[in-house]
Amino acid sequence: MRMSDMPKLDVWVRAKLCESGACVEVMFRPDGTVRVRDSKNPGGPVLGFTPEEWDAFTAGVRLGEFD
């Protein structure tokens, strides 16, 4: 899903298929930026991405660039 299609939330979300608790959480900020953190360490480091960076990353995932 492209960044432009994502809801502008200010809460952490994780994949519905995350059952083990060892997942990443994503926050879609109202300003369009995206934050990513480790669900096992919510007080730890947070990575930040611009909408363009997020779109490039998710496109790479869909294309199998990281397999």
**Residue 21 falls within a domain, yes or no?**
yes
Residue 48 falls within a domain, yes or no? yes
Mean pLDDT of the chain: 86
Report which DSSP code applies to 13: B
- Give me the numbers of helices (H) and strands (E) for the chain, helices first please: 1, 3
Contact in structure between 23 and 15 (CB atoms under 8 Å): yes
**Distance (Å, whole) CA 15 – CA 25:** 8
pLDDT band of 15, cuts 50, 70, 90: confident
Which residues form the domain of 7?
A: 3-53
Rounded to an integer, the average pLDDT of 2-17 is 72
Closest CA to 50 of 33, 36, 29: 33
Q: How many domains does the chain have?
A: 1
Q: What pLDDT is attached to residue 17?
A: 82
Structure-token match 């502008």, residue found: 8
Give the mean pLDDT of 53-60.
95
pTM: 0.75
Residue 24 lies in a domain: yes
- Confidence class for position 23, pLDDT limits 50, 70, 90: confident
